[in-house]
Amino acid sequence: MKDLIVSCIQADLHWEDKKANLSMFETLLLQVPSHSHIIVLPEMFSTGFTMNAAAMAETKTGPTIEWMKQHAARLKKIITGSLIIEEGGAFYNRLVWMQPDGQHYHYDKKHLFGFAGEDAQYSAGRQKVIVQVNGWRINLQVCYDLRFPVWARQAPPQEGEPASYDILLYVANWPQRRINAWNTLLKARAIENQSYVVGVNRVGNDAQDIYHNGSSSIIDPWGEVLWNLQEETGVYTHTFQYHKLAEARTKLPFLKDADRFIIL
């Protein structure tokens, strides 16, 4: 297994201003080291967490997707983050996984934040999506999904088989007023799934004067915080080494004892 190098970008988003956000991220991309494999942007990185879906939505060939495609090719890196996509007359909070060759995958947010009316404006995804890079399996999730452990739960591996994923990735617009839940649940998901967890949040106020303090984090399988950034825009790059993950799973093989279930 090769090392996997991931760059996380935490930023203060411009409300419903795609041009300003994409310009800002272009500047921040300059800080990503050349050896990085993946760049992670926050939830709804081009607009902020808006319920104005009809006005802000794009198609799957729209300008933000094209922006991701252009920069992934230019930098020769995967770029991922969520944006608002209209498809078949429905709107989705869609996490796009854009590869340098222009091929891309997507995960539509499963759990919609009813407290903010997200469930009234967007359609829920139905499928888990696990992508692979350098042999690492990465489970894609969005913000509110973090509160629902069954959706992220590792399936008990069969004898001689690997776990279903190695990194659980969350992109978010998680407000400061509930940041204790964010910090606690990121650790819980790492411990219970014996997985690394990457959580990339935003900073700053949105149009509803809801403040976000970031607290983007990388957590190891033991629940230890390897990186955490609060209150500021920043780019951080981390190298994941598979032997450390394998050591945790070998020393304490908890996954084989997990309950078996099927999500219907």
pLDDT in tens, 141-183: 999 999 999 999 998 888 778 899 999 999 999 999 999 999 9
pLDDT at 264 over 80: no
For residue 142, report the phi and psi dihedrals to the nearest 5 degrees.
Answer: -130, 120
Domain range annotation of the chain = 4-257
At residue 162, the pLDDT reads 86
Judge whether 143 counts as a catalytic residue. Answer: yes
Q: Annotated catalytic residue: which of 18, 43, 69, 187? A: 43
Residue among 109, 110, 118, 187 flagged as catalytic: 109
- Superfamily covering domain 4-257: Carbon-nitrogen hydrolase (3.60.110.10)
Is 109 part of the annotated catalytic residue set? yes
- Whole-angstrom Cα distance, residue 172 to residue 174? 6
What pLDDT sits at residue 156? 87
Q: What are the pLDDT digits (tens) for 137-148? A: 999 999 999 999
